[in-house]
Amino acid sequence: MFMEVNGIKYHVEVVGEGDPLLVLHGFTGSIQSWNPFIEEWSKQFTLILVDLLGHGQTDHPPDSKRYSTECATLDLQTILNTLGVGKTHVLGYSMGGRLALSFTIMFPNSVQSLILESSSPGLSEKKERTDREANDYKLASKIEQEGIEAFIDYWEGLPLFRSQQDILSFDKRQRLRRERLKNDVAGLGNSLRGFGTGVQPSWWEHLQTLQIPVLLIVGEDDKKFCRINNEMNKRLPNSKIIVVKDAGHTIHLEQPEIFGKIVMDYLKGKLNIK
């Protein structure tokens, strides 16, 4: 369905029954990213699936400021209010994880528990943020100048996604590529400018304030995010971390059965970590 949210048309799907679970995809993704899990998860939870701003079938406004952390989190709160949801579990992958964490910090009374897959609290150092912002602006210009297909060629070749070439079948990689290609040039470019890692707030100093349960999931081969999440785990008062073997950045794609079980076991309080 489509919802009018603070002047923006959002594509939102609500599936299942039980406690609500808000699910947020990553950069270049969409609601389709979660298709392998919807049938099973919706048996026990009411899934709230959102095409994030500039992605999928949601609008892609021309002003990059509309994609900011403040605007994006307010949109999520408005969606929950419209659906009559007072409190929800939240799951986010990568960019969606940054948004999920931002939402949790800015609207703490709306979140029951938080699951972050391959995500981060942003960058702590000012120079890091400045450099990343400049790089994201350059990347946004690249998308607009060269087109979506050339950008997806570049994106798929990043070292961050190298494990996909080794683990995913050709058919799965092609389905993923088709999903990415459905996105809009302006939407992806403005998403980078308005909600890139360099421009979002750094939440490192806020982690210790989160009292809700937090689960961090990372792939063993994703060394950078293993380091980030281990540091997050030290700072969060009520967190657990799971490192998934034979997986890189996209655990839900590379090890879907393991990922799906981790999420459900955690939400049902049955997750055992040795």
Whether 132 is covered by a domain: the verdict is yes
pLDDT of 165 above 60: yes
Looking at residues 1-26, what average pLDDT do you find?
97
Confidence at residue 13, expressed as pLDDT on a 0 to 100 scale:
98
Confidence at residue 3, expressed as pLDDT on a 0 to 100 scale:
95
Confidence at residue 160, expressed as pLDDT on a 0 to 100 scale:
86
Burial class (CB in 10 A: 0-12, 13-18, 19+), 245: exposed
Looking at residues 116-132, what average pLDDT do you find?
92
Place of tokens 């528990």: 113
User: 21, 89 in Cβ contact below 8 A?
Assistant: yes
pLDDT band of 274, cuts 50, 70, 90:
very low
Whether 273 is covered by a domain: the verdict is no
Share the mean pLDDT of the chain. 94
pLDDT of 204 above 80: yes
Place of tokens 């080794």: 166
Instruction: Compare 171 and 273 and report the one with higher pLDDT.
Output: 171
Q: Give the containing element (helix H, strand E) for 115.
A: strand 111-117
Confidence at residue 124, expressed as pLDDT on a 0 to 100 scale:
87
pLDDT of 26 above 70: yes
Nearest to 69 by CA among 94, 87, 96, 47: 96
Looking at residues 240-253, what average pLDDT do you find?
95
All residues at 6 or more sequence positions from 117 whose CB lies less than 8 Å from its CB, including other chains: 91, 92, 93, 94, 97, 217, 218, 251, 252, 259
Q: What percentage of the chain exceeds 70 in pLDDT?
A: 99
Q: Which of these ranges, 36-40, 131-135, 217-221, 259-263, has the smallest mean pLDDT?
A: 131-135
Total domains, the chain: 1
Q: Which of these ranges, 46-60, 112-126, 152-166, has the smallest mean pLDDT?
A: 152-166
Supply the range of the domain harboring residue 25: 2-267
Whether 68 is covered by a domain: the verdict is yes
Confidence at residue 166, expressed as pLDDT on a 0 to 100 scale:
82
Half-sphere exposure of residue 222: CA atoms within 13 angstroms, side-chain side: 28
Rounded CA-CA distance 188/200 in Å is 16
Whether 274 is covered by a domain: the verdict is no
Rounded CA-CA distance 150/61 in Å is 22
> Residue type at 83?
L
User: 253, 148 in Cβ contact below 8 A?
Assistant: no
What CATH number is associated with residue 101? 3.40.50.1820
User: 93, 25 in Cβ contact below 8 A?
Assistant: yes
Q: Locate 134 and state its tokens.
A: 């400049």
Whether 79 is covered by a domain: the verdict is yes
pLDDT of 156 above 90: no
